[in-house]
Amino acid sequence: MVSRIHLTKDERAIIERVSQGWRQKLDQWTIARLALARSLQMTEAPSPELYPPLSGQRGGVELHPMQLIGEGRANELEDFTDLYCAMLSIYEGADLFEDEELYHAALQRHVRRGLAVLNEEWRDQSDLNRYILDEILVDRAKEADSGETSDGLGERVTRALGQIGVDAKLQSTSVGPRLTRFSYELPLLDDLDRLRRGQDKIGFALGLGDRKIDIAVGTSERTVVLDVPRPSTTWKTVNWPDIVSALDSPAASKMSLPICLGTSVLGEPLLIDLAEAPHLFIGGTTGSGKSMCLHSILLSLNHNKVLAPELLLVDPKAVEFAGYRGLPNLMGKEPVVTPDDAYRALNDLVDEMERRQTVFKELGARDISEALEKGARLKRIVAVVDELGDLFLNRREIEIPLIKLAQKSRSSGIHLVLATQRPEAATFPGLLRSNIPSRIALTVQKNAESRIILDEGGAEQLLGKGDMLVKFTGQQVVRGHGSRVLPSDISEILR
C-alpha cells in the first residue's frame, strides 16, 4: 500500500496562505509540487532531525503520492515515481528503490522543507510567474559560475567607453556576487568628466535598463572603477553558511558585538560592530530583504553562545521572529507582539539603563566595558524592533522610550536595531535620527525614502533581494549584498 505524505497543521496553514496569495486558484497539490521542486533545487538534503517521520496529524494534511507525482497512475507517462525515486536516492545517498517506506519518508521531508522555504520566500504581493522564474527555474549552474558570465562584458564596457569618446585601458576585472568591477586607466584628465556625463549612455549601450553603473575614482593615478550590475540569472546567492566563519575571524574577535551582514560588492564578508554603531536603523520596501537582514543580525549575535547579548525582540507581525522562541537569551522567553507589550518592554529597558548607570557610578566605571573589567556581571542587551512604522501608528508614545534609549544607552550596553518598510519622516523622527547614526538602506521606491534613511539618495537604484547601502557611524556609505538566511539556519542556533 502506498503511504501518504503527512503534513502538520502549521504546514497546512502555509499551503493556505500561499494558495490565497496567488491570483489564480491553486490547489494544495500544486503548492506541494512547487514546494517539492523548491526543495529539490537546493544542494543539500533536508535533515531527518528537522523533518522527522510523521504519521497522521491532527488538523494537518494527507497527500497521496499519486496526486503529487503520479505514483501508480495507469498511464505510464503520467507516473514520475522512478524519476523522483532516482533524484531522492542521489540526494540521500541511498538506494530508495529498495525501500518504499524510506522513499516516501524522503519525499515527505522534501515537501515539508520546500513548504518552509516557500513560506519564507512568498510575499503576498509576489507574482507567481516571477517567483517561479527567480526561485525555482533559476539556473544554478550559471549562477555558481559567475566568472564565466563576465566574459565579454569587459570588452562591451570598453567598447561603450570608446563610443562616448573615452579611450580607456582596462586594468583589472573582479567578479562579485552581483556586480563586476572593472578598473580602467584614463589617459586624459578630461576623460573623467566625459565618463561621468556618459554614465547613462554606457548603461544604455550595455542594455542595463534601470540598473545603474557606479563610477568611483580609484586609488592609483588616473584610475576609475566601474561597478557594472549583471543580470539576476548570473548572481551568486550569498548564503548564511558561506559567510558565518567571518564571525570567527581576528577582525571579529576585536569587536564586542560583531555582525556579518553579508558581503561587500566583491564578495568579502561585510562585518560591523553593533557596539560601536551603537544603534542601527534599517529601511527598505516590502520584499527588499529587510527580514533577511534582521535574521543575519540575530544569527550573528547568537553565533558565540557565551558572548551572546540578551535580546528583546519586537515583532508586530508575530511571524518574523517566531523561530527564536526558546532562545535562552531571549528576554521574556517570547518575542513581544503587541504595541502595549512593546511599550512596556522598552520602558523596562529604560529602567534597566538607569539602574546600570547607578551600578557604574558605584564601581567608578564610565561605561559597560569598564564595568565589565571591574567585574560587573552584566550582559549587553540588543532590542530588535521590526515594523517600527506599524508600532508608531498603533502607539505613538513608543517614541519616548526609544528616544531615551537612543540618546543614553550606548554607555550602558543597550543597543537598538529598528526596522521599517515605511522610511518616512514620521517613522524616523528628528531625535531618533540624530541619535542613530548607523543606517542600512535596502531597496526603496523613492529617492526621498533613501534620503530619510541615509541622508542621501541611491537606495532607490538598488537591485532588491538584500542589495544594500550601509552607512556606519561617521563613515562613507558602502554597498553590500545581504545574506540569504533559511529557516534551517535559524533552527540551527537553537540546538
Instruction: Show binding-site residues.
Output: 284-291
From candidates 157, 213, 292, 459, binder to ligand ATP by CB under 6 A: 292
* Cell output for 245: 566563519
Does residue 120 bind ligand ATP (CB under 6 A)?
A: yes
From candidates 81, 180, 234, 288, binder to ligand ATP by CB under 6 A: 288
Measured at CB, which residue is nearest to ligand ATP? 466
- 407, 252 Cβ separation under 8 angstroms: no
- 431, 407 Cβ separation under 8 angstroms: yes
Instruction: Kindly determine how many residues on this chain lie close enough to bind ligand ATP according to the rule CB under 6 A.
Output: 19
Q: Which of 138, 85, 110 is nearest to 34 (CA)?
A: 110
* Cell output for 87: 533524484
Does residue 269 bind ligand ATP (CB under 6 A)?
A: no
From candidates 286, 304, 447, 475, binder to ligand ATP by CB under 6 A: 286
Closer to ligand ATP at the Cβ: 6 or 422? 422
Closer to ligand ATP at the Cβ: 112 or 484? 484
Spatial separation of the C-alpha atoms in residues 74 and 368, rounded to whole Å: 72
Does residue 289 bind ligand ATP (CB under 6 A)?
A: yes
Spatial separation of the C-alpha atoms in residues 273 and 284, rounded to whole Å: 21
Q: In sequence order, what DSSP letters do the residues of 54-103 get, joined into one string?
A: ----TT-EEE-HHHHH-TT-SSGGG--HHHHHHHHHHHHTS-GGG-HHHH
Does residue 404 bind ligand ATP (CB under 6 A)?
A: no
Does residue 237 bind ligand ATP (CB under 6 A)?
A: yes
**Sequence-separated (6 or more) residues with CB below 8 Å from residue 490:** 295, 298, 299, 323, 324
From candidates 421, 435, 438, 488, binder to ligand ATP by CB under 6 A: 421
From candidates 65, 198, 269, 284, binder to ligand ATP by CB under 6 A: 284
Spatial separation of the C-alpha atoms in residues 365 and 321, rounded to whole Å: 35
- Subset of residues 44 to 103 that bind ligand ATP, contact rule: CB under 6 A: none
Q: How far is the CB of 242 from ligand ATP (least distance, A)?
A: 11
Q: How far is the CB of 38 from ligand ATP (least distance, A)?
A: 10
Residue 366 has a CB neighbour count (10 Å cut-off) of 11
Spatial separation of the C-alpha atoms in residues 305 and 330, rounded to whole Å: 12
From candidates 114, 229, 389, 482, binder to ligand ATP by CB under 6 A: 482
**Sequence-separated (6 or more) residues with CB below 8 Å from residue 63:** 4, 5, 6, 7, 28, 29, 32, 111
Closer to ligand ATP at the Cβ: 287 or 429? 287
Instruction: Show binding-site residues for ATP.
Output: 284-291
Closer to ligand ATP at the Cβ: 278 or 289? 289
Q: How far is the CB of 317 from ligand ATP (least distance, A)?
A: 7
- 418, 282 Cβ separation under 8 angstroms: yes
From candidates 38, 110, 303, 465, binder to ligand ATP by CB under 6 A: 465
Closer to ligand ATP at the Cβ: 291 or 488? 291
**Strand pairing report for 438-441 and 280-283:** parallel
Does residue 123 bind ligand ATP (CB under 6 A)?
A: yes
Q: Which residues bind ligand ATP (CB under 6 A)?
A: 120-121, 123, 237-238, 284, 286-292, 421, 465-466, 482-484
